[in-house]
Structures are given as C-alpha cells and as structure tokens.
Amino acid sequence: MAAAQAQRALVTGAAMGIGRAVAERLARDNASMVLFDLAAEPLRALADELRAGGCDVHAVVGSVADRSSCIQAAAIAQQEFGGLDLLSHNAGIQRYGTVETTDEALWDEVMNVNLKAAYLISQACMPMLRESHGAIVLMSSAQGLASQEGVLAYSVAKHGLIGMTKSMAVDYAPLGVRINAVAPGAVNTPMLRDAVALNENPAAIWRTLDDMHPLGRTAEPEEIAEVVAFLGSKAASFVTGEVVRVDGGLLSRIGGSPRKE
C-alpha cells in the first residue's frame, strides 16, 4: 500500500506561541509548510530548524492584515507544493479597553489583525483548499464564547472568528472544504506572559489564571496544537463548523457556590 502523501500546510503566527507549536506538531508528520509571521528573526530560525529535521519549509515575513502578504504566502504554497491541504490561522494580538477607553485606532488594529486577517488569508487560500478538499482551522478563544472585563475589541474579534467559521463551513461543505475553530483558555504563550508582566504582582496573576481552570493550570501551546492537527487531518473528516474548546474546563464552571463540600 502506498504511503499517504504528506500534508501541505500554511501556518500563520508561526514564529511563536500556538502557531509555532502547530508548525512543530505538523513537522512530526513531515508536512510541507509555509510559515507566515511578522517576526522575521524567530520565524526564520524556526524554518531553519524544521528544514534541518527534513521538512520542506518556506518562511514568509509579513502581516496577516495585509492583503498582498496573504496573497504572497498562498502563492508560495502553490508554487512550491502545487497546492494546499490545511490553513492553520493563529496570528493575533491582545489589547485592552472598554467601549469608552478603546479608541478608534486600537479598535481598528485589533479588528484588522484578529478578524480581517482571517478573511484575507482564507480568501487567498480557498482556491487551493477547494481543489484538495482541505481544511481551515481558525484560532479563536474562550473569549470568543464569553468575555472578561476590559477586552472589548479582542472579545468582539474572537466572537467574529466563530461566526466566520460557521459561515464558511456552511458555504464550503458542498465543495469538500472543512472549517473549524479552536477556543483555548489561558495558554502559556509570549502574548500571555507579556500581559501578565504588566501587573504589579505577576505571581498572583499566574495563580489566578491557574485557578480559573478546573484542571488547575494554564495550557501549554503544544496541547492546543494537538487539537489543531486533529481538526486539520482526515481523522476529522466529518467535523466542520465546530468550535472546540480547549480550556481546561474554564467555561464549564459557574463561579461561586451556596455550599462547600
């Protein structure tokens, strides 16, 4: 029996955090990959590392919020691999503010990077995914299903990604393309570490984050990457339009209790 063809993937936000973990996870299956990120130095270092391990990897430095960069990344996949089987979109930023303290520039920045970018990269990749009957996995958040205080733009954008997931799933199911989203809880990424470091007592914040999750800890990026790899694989062939919570039980618990056992 002939060996299965290695997957061809485009991974955004690949330089660090969840995106990097996804790239490393797919590399274990010898995927051919286009890695796409704005952070040039860590992106190229990861690409070199994965090439040294035997993977066919190409790095694209650019912003996912820029149409021309998205088109370039997709074009490289077409040129180098002859198509694409998986788009794993992980790029995002965290910003803070209420409806009064979020100015228009910040709102636009978050919407462009966290929501519009998903539209741009999905649009650029969809012709190849239609041809291959491939898959898209968008990285939403538990805050795409609920919200903390002071994260208006971020929460709106992550809710929007879930709407986009369901809409694209319905549109493209007849064409053989599956689209799903992942909604992590708190994950030990550079983005989260930077946010925690802004506080006067980071250790206390980490304890709070751990305690929020019934499993008693935050996630590691590799745990999220495993779910992405599953959703992007043929093993998930009947899964589309789904939002998979990988949140350690975060959204399953109602705070407070009338009694303590």
CATH number for the domain spanning 210: value is 3.40.50.720
Q: With 60 as the cut, is the pLDDT of residue 24 above it?
A: yes
pLDDT, residue 1, reads 42
pTM (whole model) above 0.85? yes
Nearest 5 degrees, angle CA 127-CA 170-CA 183?
95
Beta strand ranges found along 38-166 (DSSP E) = 57-61, 86-89, 135-139
Residue 261 in domain: no
Range of the domain at 90: 8-248
Residue 209 in domain: yes
pLDDT, residue 194, reads 85
Residue 211 in domain: yes
* Each residue's pLDDT tens digit, 187-239: 999 888 888 888 889 899 899 899 999 999 999 999 999 999 999 999 999 99
Q: Which residues are catalytic?
A: 154
Question: For residue 31, what are its two tokens?
Answer: 């995927």
Residue 3 in domain: no
- 197: nearest Cα among 207, 185, 206, 210: 206
